[in-house]
Amino acid sequence: MAKIWIYAELSEGKLAPISLELLAKARALGGEVEAVALGKGAEAAATILGKHGAKKVYVCDDSVFDEYVAQPATDTMEALVKANSPDLLLFGFSLDSREVAGRLSARLGIGQVSSAVDVEAGGGGFTARVSYFGGSKIAKMKVNQKPAIVLIRPKSFEAAEVGGSAEVEQVKATVGADSKRAHRLERVAEKGDKVKLEDAAIVVSGGRGMQGPENFPLLEELADALGGAVGASRAVVDAGWVPYSMQVGQTGKAVRPNVYIAAGISGAMQHTVGMKASKVIIAINKDAEAPILKMADLGIVGDALKILPKLTEAVKAKKGG
Amino acid sequence: MKIVVTVKQIPDPNGVQRLGTDNRLVRDGEVVLDPGDEYGVEAALRIKEAAGEGEVVLVSMGPAKAADAIRKGLSMGADRAIHISDDALAGADALTTAQVLAAAIKGESADLVICGTESTDGSTGMVPPMLAELLGVPQLTFAKSVEAGGGKVKIQRQTEVGYDVVEAATPALLTVTAAVGEPRYASLKGIMAARSKEVKKLGLGDLGVSRGTAAEEILEVVDAEQRQAGEVFEDDGTAVDKILALLVKVKAV
């Protein structure tokens, strides 16, 4: 039976959602499913990982992994991989995990498949699916090595609790003398405790068509009325209108809410790859030729600045009545 | 302060992208300097200017055409370049690319190596961390701002919720985002000056690197399932009613 490992990502003592998504896939692949949790909160995370199907969790509850970027985790992963020989090693394609995956891959002198959306077993190995050209093409890539290292984009699978508990194996931090170098001095959160974009059931996003940052409150008001979160296209993040934490797309966050409302977003592949898994897409754009209208369940050719305030009022009225 | 910036030429993202019979991206059309790398060049030039001294060296791996992308970076103000070009490198994976770049950069003894966060065409995001590992330096990634000097570098590292402040002693590798500053336009003077700047050409043999077997093999490329277009209306004053009706239908309101 293939030994499948997932790299559980911890941030500020909390398990990143991608870790549980990876477990759902690992379970479906039907191997011996195990996880590695490094950093503050690893012990508590093991319980959650067990409930999501991990049979065993290698745990190291040590703050060295939080204090220093990538290198201590790479050193410890290298030691664990060499001692336990997993067949498949799944990482999230997230900012923190990909750094460790890249370093580990170079350390072991083996390649990896990055930015994949799926992975399947067969032919005595694993095949990853990678989406190209904004998700219009899927390449099937065979990984010819052990361990096969595959990085999966967030929101590719749905996490599911199946009950159960994991055997916990305490491991020690293996950290090279020269690995405490990229020192994380401080973590700064830019947004309050509103609904998190990647977890929101409703996302209201704005692009260039919003004309300027001064009009983003129109999106926030609608999102508040719907109990959702506000997102943005890369163009407006690059222009400095809103912070990167709001960016949806290839180089931003992946979301799959029940409803995605795109206001003044043209629908470049860079953006749509991050939101096309939404259940219902509503697009408002002045340009009748905008690509976003071709993928929306409901497309409105019109001015978002005029429609949004009226829609907010209508939603409030409906909820009130 | 010596700064190496990795640069890549990519097919014009505004052009039509297609795959060849080998299922690899066709790279024979218009090529441009990867927009992500322009931020790397800009960040390097700003660090050099703030320090009042230093050298910015571009390193690129790519076919003969990559010379255009390199020239663009030199026109912006980089001092010289190294261009690794070898037919044996066509279709190289991220690990091979990182090994080749590392071999070329090692001899430079740079204080900083700056990369984009990921290429616009391949988007694997794997070359920077692999390169940092192979060079034996720490990686300070997704920088939205950079302060360098006095043997140290400190960045604001973009995160899903805000940013981290990360610091390391040099040498170090950075990846930079668009937030580090709008890339400057090449001035006419810059374009003229770039013509006489040194571009050292290297092959695999010069670097003592041999191409290994790629870990990954493309079996096939298929069309992804596409979303079906729904209804599109010109806003005639009923847009709000239509959207609200749909929101009610899917129980969002």
Q: Which homologous superfamily is B2-207 in?
A: HUPs (3.40.50.620)
Are residues A298 and B230, on separate chains, in Cβ contact within 8 Å? yes
Residues of A in contact with B220 (CB under 8 A): 139-140
Say which residue, B50 or B10, is predicted with more confidence. Answer: B50
Mutation for B interface: A156, A196, A238, most B CBs within 10 A: A238
Examine the pLDDT at B29 and tell me if it is beyond 90.
no
Q: Is A176 helix (H, G, I), strand (E, B) or coil?
A: coil
Q: Give me the residues of A, 190-249, that contact B with CB < 8 A.
A: 190-191, 198, 201-202, 226, 237-238, 240, 243-245
Say which residue, B64 or B29, is predicted with more confidence. Answer: B64
- Tokens 């600045």 found at: A305
Examine the pLDDT at B198 and tell me if it is beyond 80.
yes
Tokens for A96?
A: 């923190």
pLDDT at position A267, please?
A: 93
- pLDDT more than 90, % of chain A: 83
Are residues A183 and B166, on separate chains, in Cβ contact within 8 Å? yes
- What value of ipTM does the predicted structure carry? 0.90
B46, B182 contact by CB (below 8 A): no
pLDDT band at B20 (very low <50, low <70, confident <90, very high): confident
Using the Cα atoms of residue A13, residue A150, residue B91 and residue B213 in order, give the sign of their dihedral: positive
How many CB atoms lie under 10 A from the CB of residue B36?
A: 22
Are residues A251 and B233, on separate chains, in Cβ contact within 8 Å? no
Mean pLDDT of the B153-172 span: 94
B122, B156 contact by CB (below 8 A): no
Partner B contacted by A118 (CB < 8 A): no
pLDDT in tens, A239-266: 999 998 899 998 889 898 999 999 999 9
pLDDT at position B209, please?
A: 87
Partner B contacted by A159 (CB < 8 A): no
Residues of A in contact with B235 (CB under 8 A): 300-303, 307
Average pLDDT value over all residues in chain B: 91
pLDDT at position A59, please?
A: 98
pLDDT at position A194, please?
A: 67
Tokens for A50?
A: 């067990």
Examine the pLDDT at B120 and tell me if it is beyond 60.
yes
Mean pLDDT of the A82-107 span: 96
Cα–Cα distance between A43 and A62 in angstroms, integer? 10
Mean pLDDT of the A173-189 span: 94
pLDDT in tens, B211-236: 877 778 888 888 887 788 889 999 99
Tokens for A166?
A: 């994991």
Where are the domains positioned within chain B? 2-207
Cβ neighbors of B207 (< 8 A, separation 6 or more) are B84, B100, B103, B104
Partner B contacted by A162 (CB < 8 A): no
Quote the DSSP letter at residue B19: B
Domains and CATH numbers, chain A: 3-170 (3.40.50.620), 197-320 (3.40.50.1220)
Examine the pLDDT at A299 and tell me if it is beyond 80.
yes
Mean pLDDT of the A58-76 span: 97
pLDDT at position A191, please?
A: 63
pLDDT band at A64 (very low <50, low <70, confident <90, very high): very high
The least confident of A95-109, A246-260, A304-318 is A246-260
Are residues B221 and A107, on separate chains, in Cβ contact within 8 Å? no
pLDDT at position A134, please?
A: 67
Say which residue, B204 or B210, is predicted with more confidence. Answer: B204
Are residues B125 and A114, on separate chains, in Cβ contact within 8 Å? yes
pLDDT band at A192 (very low <50, low <70, confident <90, very high): low
Mean pLDDT of the A63-70 span: 96
Partner A contacted by B237 (CB < 8 A): no
pLDDT band at A161 (very low <50, low <70, confident <90, very high): very high
pLDDT in tens, B70-116: 999 999 999 999 999 999 998 888 999 999 999 999 999 999 999 99
Query: How distant is the Cα of A59 from the closest Cα of chain B, in angstroms?
Result: 24
Mean pLDDT of the A309-319 span: 94
Residues of B in contact with A137 (CB under 8 A): 19, 221-224
B104, B202 contact by CB (below 8 A): yes
Residue B164: closest CA among A176, A247, A182, A102: A182
Query: How distant is the Cα of A174 from the closest Cα of chain B, in angstroms?
Result: 16
- Tokens 């190289």 found at: B92
pLDDT at position A68, please?
A: 97
pLDDT at position B217, please?
A: 84
pLDDT at position B14, please?
A: 67
Cα–Cα distance between B57 and A125 in angstroms, integer? 42
The least confident of A32-46, A172-186, A241-255, B140-154 is A241-255
Element (H, E) at A6: strand A3-8
Say which residue, A20 or B217, is predicted with more confidence. Answer: A20
Examine the pLDDT at B28 and tell me if it is beyond 80.
no
Mean pLDDT of the A97-118 span: 95
Say which residue, A101 or B221, is predicted with more confidence. Answer: A101
Of A38-52, A114-128, B119-133, B150-164, the range with the highest mean pLDDT is A38-52
Average pLDDT value over all residues in chain A: 93
Examine the pLDDT at B154 and tell me if it is beyond 90.
yes
